[in-house]
Amino acid sequence: MPMPAAVSAALDPDRALRRLAGYVARPAISCDPAHHADVEALAEAVSADLAALGLQAEVLRLPGALPSVAAAWMGAGPDAPTVLVYGHLDLQPVKGEPWTSDPHTLTQRGERVFARGASDDMGGWVSHLEAIQAYLEAEGGLPVNLRLLIEGEEEIGSPNLERYMDAFPEAFAADVMILTDCENPSPTQPGLTVSLRGLLEVELRCAALEADGHSGLWGGMVPDVSLALMRLVSRLCDEDGRMAIGRVEVPADWRAAAWEVPLSPAVIHAGAHLLPGVSALPDRGRPPAEWMWRQPSITVVATSLPTAERKKNALRTAASATLSVRLAPGQTIDEMIGLLRAVLLADPPAGVEVSVEQGKNASEGWLYTPRGPAFAAADRAYRASWGQPLLQVGVGGSIPFVALFGRRYGDLPLILNGVMDPESTAHGPNESLHLGVFAKAIAANAALYAELGALGKVGLRA
């Protein structure tokens, strides 16, 4: 069921941009206590705007947490589904970043508008505000009951979101959820996020001497722990420099479809800012999307190797490295720790003492199968507004709120979309929003409300 023509005519991306310009002007940076008053002020402003649109809105608060905004419009009646839209108010910091224009002033250059929060995530939930406003103006109501939950702590890992879920269950009560903080593969290809990788930090340490020894005296017959550490780390990698252990099977049909994801070597080169002579790793017959979303990977994120300041001609006592492992979706922390220990502790070079300990950061990934009427409805809505069906995509990182929603509400349809694209540089300088994506997202939201409303609460469960 397409949205009514009057709603389509009432959608006004320029009005939505003006609203977005007002919100990005507030530096609601959650990791910086100096900006917590800005998060508070933004929450109050958004709540007031939602009330002015005709929603029941309030700022939710818990001790020791930044606020969330909750709003509801429940006029569609008991037979209509209730849709929850999640987004976040808060922003990443901008300190020390080379911005071309002021990060808190929405500035248009070409087809994009630039500002911190333009796409992550203010553009995401502002696109819903516009769809809601157009519906209410044109039809006097929405085809679904609708709740908005806009969190204030996503950029610091949603440390209190589950407490909000426990304290305000009514604010989260819904039949279908739209989580608007994810990415599209390109400005012309809408994405539906269905997997996350997990994250596991591991401390690898090797020790060989009780005290530093003279390398001119003992070098040649005594192990150097720095080299031993590097040899141990290299056991985890193949000749391309990829993690060689813990690879998982992926379904053949998923792999075939993943070749369609627009992640060519050129896209990777530009997106990851590789130097001119540096190439992306060879695909070895697997799609890049598989390597980035569905297989584990490893990065050395810290070491205690001798620094230039501590340079001396000595064999050192010990060396350590912090290894950051991205877990494949579905892979457990215990499984990966077991594999790492088996490879790293076996047969140490010259018998150096090796230890492998789990670090502080650990979260498992998420793998979701979108199935049923809600996803068929989303597909129709996106075909109508983007001219393209949703492409299932993964996220190479771990997003705590997604894992949490997956755990708490995984039996509901969870539609993960957003207004970011590969050039949005969320979390970096010159964050931007593509204007075409924004307009299509607004239309897709309104179209999705129409499709879900036409299904009804019963049809949604069929």
Beta strands in 180-317 (DSSP E): 191-196, 198-207, 213-214, 297-303, 314-315
Instruction: Give, as one character, the DSSP assignment of residue 209.
Output: -
CB of 91 to Zn ion, least distance (A): 9
Give me the amino acid identity at 143. Answer: P
- Which stretch, 120-128, 171-179, 375-383, 388-396, contacts Zn ion (CB under 5 A)? 120-128
* Helices 435-461 and 373-386, axial angle in degrees (round to 10): 150
Give the contact letters, 293-312, x = binds to Zn ion (CB under 5 A), - = no.
--------------------
- Residue 203: both structure tokens together: 């401390």
Question: Does the footprint of Zn ion cover residue 90 (CB under 5 A)?
Answer: no
Residue placing its CB nearer to Zn ion in the complex, 228 or 402: 402
CB of 92 to Zn ion, least distance (A): 8
Q: Out of 121, 151, 175, 431, point to the residue binding Zn ion (CB under 5 A).
A: 121
52 touches 129 (CB < 8 A): no
144 touches 81 (CB < 8 A): yes
CB of 160 to Zn ion, least distance (A): 16
CB of 127 to Zn ion, least distance (A): 14
Residue placing its CB nearer to Zn ion in the complex, 49 or 121: 121
- Which stretch, 112-120, 161-169, 217-225, 326-334, contacts Zn ion (CB under 5 A)? 112-120
Residue placing its CB nearer to Zn ion in the complex, 120 or 364: 120
CB of 97 to Zn ion, least distance (A): 17
Residue placing its CB nearer to Zn ion in the complex, 331 or 430: 430
CB of 121 to Zn ion, least distance (A): 4
CB of 179 to Zn ion, least distance (A): 10
Asked if residue 334 has a cis previous peptide bond (ω within 30° of 0), the answer is no
Binding positions for Zn ion, 129-188, rule CB under 5 A: 181
CB of 201 to Zn ion, least distance (A): 22
Pairing of the two strands 213-214 and 314-315: antiparallel
* Helices 435-461 and 122-139, axial angle in degrees (round to 10): 70
What would the DSSP string read from start to end of 312-323?
Answer: -SEE-SEEEEEE
| 421: nearest Cα among 195, 91, 119 | 119
Residue placing its CB nearer to Zn ion in the complex, 49 or 120: 120
461 touches 454 (CB < 8 A): no
Residue placing its CB nearer to Zn ion in the complex, 120 or 451: 120
Residue placing its CB nearer to Zn ion in the complex, 107 or 180: 180
Residue placing its CB nearer to Zn ion in the complex, 120 or 175: 120
Give the containing element (helix H, strand E) for 375. helix 373-386
Number of residues that bind Zn ion (CB under 5 A): 3
Q: Out of 120, 153, 431, 451, point to the residue binding Zn ion (CB under 5 A).
A: 120
Across 86-122, b (16+ Cβ under 10 Å) vs e yields bbbbbbbbbeeeebeeebbebbeeeebbbbbbbbbbb
Q: Point out which residues bind Zn ion (CB under 5 A).
A: 120-121, 181
